[in-house]
Amino acid sequence: MNAYKNEWIEILLKKDFPGWLIGADKNDIIIQIPDDQDLDKVAAEFSSMLSELQKKIKSKPTMTRFFIGNSKDSRYCELN
């Protein structure tokens, strides 16, 4: 995993989203949310939050995908 993705994970973990599990695989950041949270609402709010959080990252940007899901469904956002 590269420094850019590491910084993203650190920032997301510091935000302390209730019940979220945050991790990564080789290319993507994976966010698992509890089933009782509205996935569509969380994904929309997360997408709008990305630009604000991105300002805190100092590493050179790389293409990053965020998969947000629960046990029923998932969504993804992509940053170039």
Region 6-23 average pLDDT: 94
Structure tokens at 32: 């698992």
Q: How much is the pLDDT for 45?
A: 92
pLDDT, one tens digit per residue, over 30-62 is: 999 999 999 999 999 998 899 899 999 999 999
Band of pLDDT at residue 26, cut at 50, 70 and 90: confident
CA distance 13 to 7: 10
Residues 70, 33 contacting (CB under 8 angstroms): yes
Q: How many residues does the chain have?
A: 80
